[in-house]
Chains A and B, each alone.
Chain A
Amino acid sequence: MRAFTYERAPDPIAAAKAVTQRPGARFIAGGTNLLDLMKLEVETPTHLVDVQDLGFNKIETVSQGGLRIGALVTNTDLASDERVRRDYAVLSRAILAGASGQLRNKATVGGNLLQRTRCPYFYDTNMACNKRRPGSGCAAIGGYSRQLGVVGVSKSCIATFPGDMAVALRVLDAVVETINAHGRTRSIPIADLHRLWEDNPERDTVLTTGELITAITLPPPLGGQHFYEKVRDRASYAFALVSVAAVIQPDGTGRVAFGGVAPKPWRVEAADALLPQGAAAVTARAFEGATPTQDNAFKLPLATRALAYVIEQART
C-alpha cells in the first residue's frame, strides 16, 4: 500500500473541501472496496478523508411518504430496517444477496454505489486497462470475459458495475443526494449516477471531485411483489453473472432492472412496458444492441430465464 495521510472530517463541507483541495485525496467510509484496491495499488490515494463522523447514519421517513437513507447507513442496517423489509423488499433482498455478513456490517450505502468494477484486468496492475490507466488499452477485450458486460459497453472497456443494491435502487427510482465543497447540494436520479464507459471508462460516475454523497431518497412505496433473483457461480458470496430486480403488480405490469450485465444497473423503461407479454419480450427490448463476447453470450438467455422465473413466481 502506498503511503497516505489521514484525517477525520468534522462536517460534510470540511470533508468535501479536504478532498477538493488536495490532489489525490479520497473519501473513506466503510473502506471495504477502497482498502482492497489500495493493497493492490490499483487505487493510490495520497490522503484519506474519513467521513464516519458526519452523522449520515439515519433512515428517516420523509413527508411525501418515502424514505431518506443516510449515506453512512451500513448495508446490514438498511437491509434490516423494518420499513425497507415491508415496503421496499427488493432493496433488502438485493443487499442480502451481496457480499458476506462481515462486509455488509462495514460497507455503507454511499460506498456501495461507488464500488469499482471487479473486472480481473482492472485488478491486475500488469494488464492494460483503460479504467485503471487511461489510454493503456483493454486486456479484457479478447481476454477472459465470462463475467464482463454485454450491453452499454464500449470499445475501450467492457467492465460491469458489480453491485446488487444499486440494481434495486434503479427499480425503485431512488435519488442520490450530494454536497460539494461550496455547500451546494444536488439530487441525481440513480439512473444518471453511473456512466456508460464510452471513451473515458476511468470515470465511473457523474460525481465531480470532492462531491460527497449524503443520502439516498426512496419515493413512496410501489406496492406489488418484490423480487431480486441473482444467478452466480456459488450459492452465496459471489458476484452476479446476471441479476434481476423486479417489482411486479397484480395485473402483471411492473418494473425490472438487470445487474451484472452493463456499466450501470440496466433498466430500459420501454422494456418494463412489455412485462405483461413475458420475459422474452422484455429482454429482447432491454438488451437491444447488446455486444456480448463468445465467453459471456450466455448472459442474454440467462437474463431471459431469470426474469421468466421471477414472472412465474409473481403469478403463484
Chain B
Amino acid sequence: MANWPELEISRRGVLAGTTVTAVAVGAPAFTEASAPPRAQPARTMPVAFSVNGRKQSLALDPRTTLLDALREHLHLTGTKKGCDHGQCGACTVIVEGKRINSCLSLAVMHEGQEITTIEGLGTPDKLHPMQAAFIKHDGYQCGYCTPGQICSAVAVLDEIARGVPSHVQEDLTVGPRATRQEIRERMSGNICRCGAYSNIVDAMADVAGDNA
C-alpha cells in the first residue's frame, strides 16, 4: 500500500483501515501476483490524458481500466467501483463530453482525451447545480452510487439538449423533452440499491426545469 495518499480523518480513511483486502485486489502493485501463472510479467505503457482539466501522464499495465487509473493511480476516488462489469453505473465518468462506464474501458485507449469525474463537476464550496439538486431532493442514501448517478444525470440532460433519442420517445423525428419518463429510461444504467430513484428523478427534473 506504498502509494496511498496521506490519510485524512475522513470516511475514506476510516474505510481504508477495514477494507484493505478488498482494495488491494485492485491496486497496481498486486496485479501481477494475482494474475494466473501463464501470464507474462506486466509491462507498462505510457498514456497521457486530461482529467478535470489537468494533464496527467501515467505508465500503466495495459490491463488497467480507466476506472482503476482514476482511483488507484490518480487517487480520484470519487468515481466508484461497483460491479466492475458495466452493469451498475457507479463508475460513470464523462469522456470527450459523453458518459461511459470507466470500468469497461482500458486507460491506454484514452490517449489525449478529456475526462471529467465527479471531482471535476463541482467542489464542496462550489457545487455543480446537479450536486446541489441531489442534496436538496435527498437523491441518495448510502451515497456509493451517487458520483456515477450525478455524472450520468449531467450527461443525460446534455443528451436530451443535443436531441439524442431514447427508447420511450414516441416520435423519433422530434426532439426529446426531459420528462420523468425520459429521465427514468435514460438513467437505467445507474443502479441505486438504496432505492433513491424517485428523488434522483426529482433532482434531475428540477435542474432540467431551471435550464428550460
Contact = CB atoms under 8 A, between A and B. Distances in A.
A85 B175 CA distance: 11
A105 B99 contact: yes
B202 to A, nearest CB: 19
A101 B86 contact: no
A31 B105 contact: yes
B73 interface: no
Given A31-B109, A86-B173, A102-B89, A1 B152 contact: no
A133 B84 CA distance: 24
Contacts of B119: none
B189 A102 contact: yes
B203 interface: no
A103 B105 contact: no
Interface in B160-189: 163-167, 169, 172-173, 184-189
B188 A92 contact: no
B98 A76 contact: yes
A21 interface: no
A79 B173 CA distance: 11
Contacts of A92: 165, 172
Interface in A110-156: none
A15 to B, nearest CB: 14
Interface stretch (B16-24, B33-41, B125-133, B136-144): B33-41
Given A31-B106, A89-B172, A102 B166 contact: no
B145 interface: no
A102 to B, nearest CB: 5
Contacts of B98: 76, 105-106
A48 B109 CA distance: 11
Given A31-B104, A85-B173, A103 B86 contact: yes
Interface string A10-54: 000000000000000000100110011001010000001010100
Given A36-B86, A101-B152, A236 B185 contact: yes
A80 B39 contact: no
B62 interface: yes
A3 B63 contact: yes
A264 interface: no
Contacts of A32: 86, 101, 104
Given A3-B42, A36-B86, A39-B85, A101 B165 contact: no
A96 B189 CA distance: 13
A80 B63 contact: no
A80 B109 contact: no
A238 to B, nearest CB: 9
Interface in A81-110: 85-86, 89, 92-93, 96-97, 99-103, 105-106
A94 B165 CA distance: 12
Contact of B99 (A1, A35, A99, A101): A101
Nearest to A6: B62
B156 A3 contact: no
B165 A50 contact: no
A130 B40 CA distance: 27
A287 B173 CA distance: 34
Interface SS of A by simple majority: mixed
Given A36-B104, A76-B98, A85-B172, A5 B166 contact: no
Given A102-B89, A102-B189, A1 B109 contact: no
A237 interface: yes
A100 B188 contact: yes
A103 B101 contact: yes
A245 to B, nearest CB: 14
B108 A35 contact: no
Contacts of A5: 43, 62
Of the listed residues B106, B108, B156, the one surrounded by the most CB atoms of chain A closer than 10 A to its CB is B106
Given A28-B109, A237-B188, A97 B167 contact: yes
Interface string B77-108: 00000001110010010000011110011101
Contacts of B206: none
Nearest to B61: A3
Contact of B167 (A2, A31, A105, A236): A236
Given A96-B166, A100-B86, 20 more contacts: A1-B35, A6-B45, A28-B106, A31-B109, A32-B86, A32-B101, A35-B105, A48-B62, A48-B106, A89-B172, A92-B165, A92-B172, A96-B167, A96-B169, A101-B152, A101-B189, A102-B99, A105-B98, A106-B98, A106-B104
30 contacts: A3-B40, A3-B41, A3-B42, A3-B61, A3-B63, A5-B62, A6-B108, A31-B104, A31-B105, A32-B86, A32-B104, A36-B85, A36-B104, A39-B84, A48-B62, A92-B165, A96-B169, A100-B190, A101-B155, A101-B156, A101-B186, A101-B187, A101-B189, A102-B86, A102-B92, A102-B189, A103-B101, A103-B104, A106-B101, A234-B188
